[in-house]
Amino acid sequence: MKRDQEQYAWVQQMKDSFKDVKELSVKETLEFREKWRRRFTDDSMKTDGIILHNCQYCGGRRNSFDWHAFSFRNVPADMDYVLKIRALSHLEERVAIWVERCGLPGIVVKLGEFVDYLERTPSITEELYAMPIKQTWTLVFTHEGDMGCGPYFVVAEK
């Protein structure tokens, strides 16, 4: 419960960093998470066809994070994510951002504001997921970034 409160406070602080922000309901956030999972995970993350993770909100009991979809496949950390985002996306595009705990609300912001946030935030040490509405790529930060597990920048397969 304390971890949920810490992540909620962090999301609220991050939300206050943006001018043009829409807070998502928990239901909307879960919908983005499911879109992300369908787009970026494979069968190694599923048990009986369902993706499980360790979460008090949804009752998941697997000791796993959604970003393990990348670390388990040995996707390398990518520190050039800002350059790649700028090259692949229009900065007026909207991007959804959420944290690992699926009972917490996410936000939607303009990509340009998110890029500005990334450039002035030297280190993100929380599980943070970002995906444009068009689902063309994802950027994921982890609590293990200092050990080479993230950030992950992954372009969706067509």
Summarised one tens digit per residue, pLDDT across range 40-69 is 887 655 555 455 555 555 655 555 778 878
Is the pLDDT at 136 greater than 90? The verdict is: yes
Q: Return the minimum-mean-pLDDT range out of 2-16, 97-111, 136-150.
A: 2-16
Q: How far apart are CA 154 and CA 158, in angstroms?
A: 12
Would you state the pLDDT for residue 130? 95
* Average pLDDT, rounded, for the chain: 82
Is the pLDDT at 115 greater than 70? The verdict is: yes
Average pLDDT, integer, range 121-147: 89
Average pLDDT, integer, range 84-111: 88
Instruction: Please report where in the chains the tokens 């909307």 appear, as a residue.
Output: 28
Would you state the pLDDT for residue 65? 79
Q: Which residue has the higher pLDDT, 140 or 70?
A: 140
Taking Cα atoms as reference points, which of 53, 72, 50, 71 lies closest to residue 62? Answer: 53
Taking Cα atoms as reference points, which of 62, 113, 107 lies closest to residue 89? Answer: 113
Would you state the pLDDT for residue 131? 95
Average pLDDT, integer, range 130-145: 92
Q: Which residue has the higher pLDDT, 157 or 95?
A: 95
